[in-house]
Amino acid sequence: MKEADNIAQIARLQPDYMGFIFYERSPRFIGDLPPSVLNALPEETLRVGVFVNAAREYIATQAVRYHLNLLQLHGDETPTDCEYFKFGYSLIKAFGIQSAEDFAATHRYEGVCDYFLFDTKTTQRGGSGEKFDHRLLLSYRSQTPFFLSGGIAPEDAASLAALRFPCCEALDLNSRFELSPGVKNVAEVGKFIKAVRGKL
């Protein structure tokens, strides 16, 4: 999310989380969005800051400025990098998934991160709109809850609700719900939330 009016419209749908990208090379970069826009969000909607191989000082500064609740590390961050932010913020570490073997990369982060995020493995840093086979999640054996990302589309609501993954914390709705990068289709997001809420 990056535009004030669109943020306010989505907030009225009461999402559990709302993400803001602090990666300048992304077309969804938050830019100079005033912190007051985020301060207007209801307390029930947690603010997620997404960072890619960012300096610790930059992450810490933005986390304080925007009163972030969770930090999503979407680059090559090590478990030591994650431990640096262990106190004060909940941590999400993103992993690209193409096959069941890719879940092995999470082992080093067990007990360090609060959540994992599973995205489609591509050469991009997310936002590709490409989907991986969600049935691969049946091979996931960790107890660490995860966010599911990777090309989720409006028409996926029924199939995702039917899968009922026990460790699935949230669904990350991104490019397939956008009118343009960082601008969500409010009607489609609303319909999706209504279809899946309470069913995962």
CATH of the domain at 143: 3.20.20.70
Q: What is the pLDDT of residue 134?
A: 86
H-type helices in the chain, by residue range? 4-11, 35-39, 56-65, 79-84, 157-163, 186-196
Quick: pLDDT tens for 24-34: 999 999 999 99
SS3 107: helix
Work out the burial of residue 138: count CB atoms within 10 Å of its CB; fewer than 13 is exposed, 13-18 middle, 19 or more buried. Answer: exposed
In a 13 Å sphere around the CA of 58, the CA atoms on its Cβ side amount to 12
Q: What is the pLDDT of residue 126?
A: 58
- Looking at the structure of the chain, the number of domains it has is 1
CA-based end-to-end distance of the chain: 24
Q: What is the pLDDT of residue 129?
A: 67
Give the structural domain span for 191: 4-196
User: Which residues in the chain land under pLDDT 50?
Assistant: none
Q: What is the pLDDT of residue 64?
A: 96
Work out the burial of residue 25: count CB atoms within 10 Å of its CB; fewer than 13 is exposed, 13-18 middle, 19 or more buried. Answer: exposed
The answer to whether the beta carbons of residues 22 and 50 sit under 8 Å apart is yes
Q: What is the pLDDT of residue 166?
A: 80
Q: Provide the 8-state DSSP code for 114.
A: S
